[in-house]
Each structure stands twice: as structure tokens, then as C-alpha cells.
Amino acid sequence: MNQAVNANLFTRLFDGLDDPSRLAIETHDGQRISYGDLIARAGQMANVLVARGVKPGDRVAAQTEKSVSGLVLYLATVRAGGVYLPLNTAYTLNELDYFIGDAEPTVVVCDPSKAEGIGALAAKVGAKVETLDASGKGSLTEAADKAETAFTTVPRAADDLAAILYTSGTTGRSKGAMLSHDNLASNSLTLIDFWRFTKDDVLIHALPIYHTHGLFVASNVTLFSRASMIFLPKLDPDLIINLMARATVLMGVPTFYTRLLQNPRLSKETTSHMRLFISGSAPLLADTHREWFARTGHAVLERYGMTETNMNTSNPYEGERVPGAVGFPLPGVSVRVTDPETAKELARDEIGMIEVKGPNVFKGYWRMPEKTRSEFRDDGFFITGDLGKIDSQGYVHIVGRGKDLVISGGFNVYPKEIESEIDAMPGVVESAVIGVPHADFGEGVTAVVVRQPGADVSEAGVLKGLDGRLAKFKMPKRVFVVDELPRNTMGKVQKNVLRDQYKDIYTK
Ligand code: AMP
């Protein structure tokens, strides 16, 4: 393959860099890494990976805390033609055993504290182990420090794999989504345009880098536009508000926004230097959107994507950012809503399965050809598993995951409809509606409601408030009032945890 057709994401990211001294990343503890440094470090690390046996197409798995070296590892893997496989830091050895066995990486990088346990798993597939700690140091950087910075980026075709990200797998086995160089590059370039990124942007990067949001959306978009990012290990509302004085963009999950709203320092003044607040990975409550606007004068821009598809839709940069909606299909992305049973396309405003097609959509699930086939339509649309609708103005709305649909007495009940009713009641922060086994109805509609501290919210009160507003078959059979809902690190409500917690309530 000659250089002219090299579609390696690394080449596309950094080719034509005119000023290597430009700042790319700064960290909370004062490191400053220029674009030139980043490329040089990626060269050193790519040399180490190749020395450890990584060949084009080989997987490099990483379970490490967030650090600049962790990001360099991603860039170095891609540069060497390898396939980057980031793993959630919360995964236990038992879970890692599956991922490492399934992906058969050539190299596994982990925190020094886990080297022994992970070493045993890596040995089963003949993988070499390197370490990287939370400060970005370990055997990998020790070796990289001694390696040459020069490295010829391995040419790759547009459809060659750049990364495999395992989906969170709340039902069944976690699946490895295969993402190509062009999937990642094309989506970032689209987003830069859509969100008006320029080299003057400074992104507050407080997301983890094992997930599509922090790794691809945040990092690739920043690097492609020659902007800079401030790397923070985690969400720290006080620190983020301080940084807003010199930053321009925040990308967050909804929890970021609810937590920041709890901080009395959040105001029009403290956010006046910012140009854009973006939210995704889980639904941003319409109330949070409104409250944010009232406090800061900024309308949060909500977008919708998933590991398998990168970003699909976004509220507009100019034009109305509608609370509770995820916006329009991005340029080049087709979105349609179909009847889950017949696969026929539905009319505007009708709720059904969201399907997407475009250069952003992944290449399939790693070593699961049948699963891959069953999730694509014959005309190439990917069946997202999300239920939603497109309204008369073309905005896409998400109603929930298909698997969250409750079927009670043979009737389909969309949890979102009931949640919206409950959320509008005084004293209610939010709610989650689930279906749990019920002897008569198959599934019983069940509401778990979070109340504001000290508010008078009760089962009887919620049921009374819903009476007459919902068809009988949609009425919750039980309502539980709690202090908070279980969420994962990306801010998603874990309905599987709730279903498990309440599974016996109608059958005991
Ligand atoms: P993940 O693969 O972890 O990024 O999860 C993708 C899923 O998160 C999607 O299929 C949606 O169910 C959900 N999701 C992402 N963004 C949004 C959003 N803005 N609103 C509602 N759900 C979202």
C-alpha cells in the first residue's frame, strides 16, 4: 500500500501539523504536552509495542487509570497499525478473563497493582504484560523513554480496525464493537464542523478514556482541531468551575451537569468564558437542561451516540437546542424509526426502533458474525436497540432502550412516558420505571422514585397523581421512594440493577 492511500487515523490526525510547539494537553498537576511531544511520545511507545511483537491488526489491551501516557498508548497502538482495546477500570479479574480470552491481545497494559493477577490471564493467551500507573509511569514508559522517537506510521486502509470497545453488556455477554480508522476519523471531522471547534478551543476533559465519549469524541475532536484539553482524573465540580475561566468547552455525561448545578459557584459569571456545554451517553433530564439555562444562560447541547456507532445525532449549534431531544442526524448519517416487529419505517412522531447508517457505524462484533448479522438490516442500517421517534421538526427523541420496554398484560408500556409524568410531580427529582415478573401480567409496571431531600413523596401520592393521566394498563402496580438511582460511571441509570433488586415483589 502506498502512502497516498494511507487512511491510518494517526496520519489523518497529525499530517499537516504546522506548529509542533502548540499545546495539546495540560494536566491538573501541571504537565504541559505539545503536539510535537505527543507525536514523539507516540513514536517511542509504538517502537516499544513493535518490539513486544505487535503487528498490524494485533490487539493491545489496556486497563489503566486515566493519564496522558494512557492516551499516548492509544495513539501509539493506532500508529503501529494495532487495534486498541481499552477496558473499564472497574472490571474485575473474573471479567477481564473473558475480555482477554476473547480478544487475544499481544500486549496487555495494566496498573502495577494488578500486574500479577492480569499476568496470569495474559499468560493463557501468550500476551506480554506492561504496567502504567495513575501518574502515567510504569514499565511501559520506562521502556518508551529509552526508545527512538522516530517511527514510520503503519499504513492502514479506511476499513482496517483501529479499536475494539466492549459494550457495557447489561444484558448477556459483553460484545466487542470493531471500529475502523475511518469510523473514528470521519465522525470526529463531522463533529468539529457541527460544533464549530477551532484551534482556539480549550476542552475540559474530565471523562474516563476507556469509553467512546472521553476517548474518541473528546480526544479525537480536540486533536483534529489542534485545540487543547485539560486532563482531569475525574469530575471535580469546584476545579471545573475554576477552569471555566480559561476553557471554552465542557463535554460531560448528565451527572456532570446535575453535580455542577449543586455547586453554589455555578453562575452566568463563572461560565461566561465558555462557549459550549455538551452532554451525552445518557439522557439529560429536560429539567436539568432548563435549570442549567436559568443559572448560566447556556443551553446544553445534547447529542446521541453509542459505542457501536460513534455519534449519530446532535442538537444544533445555532438554532434551538430542545430539552429532552437529541437533535438532528449528523451530516452523512441516516436515521430512521421502524416498527420493531415488521421493520417497516414509521411516520413522524411514531415510537419505534431507531436505526442508523453512515460512515460512523462500526464493522461488527468481534468474533460474533451471527450476532452482527442479526443487528443489521439487509440495506445496511444498524438496529441500535434504542426506542424513539422523530418529531415533525426532525428532532430525534429517545424513549428508552428496547430491552427496557415493559410488556404488561400483553400491552407495550414505554417507561419514559410514565417517568415523564412522575418527574413532573412536586418534590420528585427523577424516576425509573421497570418491568418485573408478575404472575398475572407477565410483567408488572414498577416505579422507583427519587424524592428531593425532605419532600413529601409517597407511593399513594404518586399513584393518585397518575390516576386519570395514564391508561390503566400503564399504571405502576407499586411505587418505591428512594434517595438515589443506581448509575454507572457514564451516568446511565442501571435498570438491570433495579430489576434485580425488585424481582420478587409480585411473585413472593
Ligand atoms: P454507550 O455504548 O455506552 O455509549 O451507550 C450507548 C447508549 O447510551 C445508547 O444506545 C443510548 O441508549 C444511550 N444514550 C447515549 N446518548 C444518549 C442521550 N443523549 N440520550 C439518551 N440516551 C443516550
Model confidence pLDDT, tens digit, residues 254-280 = 989 999 999 999 999 999 999 999 999
304 close to ligand 1 (CB < 6 Angstrom)? yes
Tell me the CA–centroid distance for residue 464 and ligand 1, in Å.
Answer: 32
According to the model, what pLDDT value does residue 71 have? Answer: 98
Lowest mean pLDDT among 77-91, 186-200, 432-446: 432-446
Give the residue-averaged pLDDT of 271-299.
96
Place 411 in a pLDDT band, splitting at 50, 70 and 90: confident
Q: Is the pLDDT of residue 173 over 80?
A: no
C-beta neighbour count of 234 within 10 angstroms = 12
Instruction: Name the residue among 388, 445, 377, 378 with its Cα closest to residue 411.
Output: 445
Q: Which residue, by CA, sits nearest to atom 10 of ligand 1?
A: 306
Q: Which residue, by CA, sits nearest to atom 6 of ligand 1?
A: 306
Largest CA distance in the chain: 72
Report d(CA 340, CA 338) in Å as an integer.
Answer: 6
According to the model, what pLDDT value does residue 3 have? Answer: 43
The kind and range of the H/E element at 373 are: helix 369-374
Instruction: Name the residue among 288, 282, 316 with its Cα closest to residue 213.
Output: 282
Mean pLDDT of the chain: 95
168 close to ligand 1 (CB < 6 Angstrom)? yes
Could you identify the residue written with the cell 473474573?
A: 94
306 close to ligand 1 (CB < 6 Angstrom)? yes
215-256 pLDDT tens trace: 999 999 999 999 999 999 999 999 999 999 999 999 999 989
Q: Which atom of ligand 1 is nearest to the CA of 213?
A: 4
Give the residue-averaged pLDDT of 291-317.
98
Tell me the CA–centroid distance for residue 490 and ligand 1, in Å.
Answer: 9
According to the model, what pLDDT value does residue 494 have? Answer: 93
According to the model, what pLDDT value does residue 340 have? Answer: 86
According to the model, what pLDDT value does residue 170 have? Answer: 52
* pTM of the predicted model as reported, rounded to 2 decimal places: 0.91
Q: Is the pLDDT of residue 200 over 70?
A: yes
325 close to ligand 1 (CB < 6 Angstrom)? no
170 close to ligand 1 (CB < 6 Angstrom)? no
According to the model, what pLDDT value does residue 1 have? Answer: 45
Q: Which residue, by CA, sits nearest to atom 15 of ligand 1?
A: 281
494 close to ligand 1 (CB < 6 Angstrom)? no
According to the model, what pLDDT value does residue 405 have? Answer: 86
326 close to ligand 1 (CB < 6 Angstrom)? yes
Q: Is the pLDDT of residue 321 over 70?
A: yes
Choose the residue to mutate in 279, 285, 355, 386 for probing ligand 1, maximizing ligand atoms within 8 Å of C-beta.
386
Place 472 in a pLDDT band, splitting at 50, 70 and 90: confident
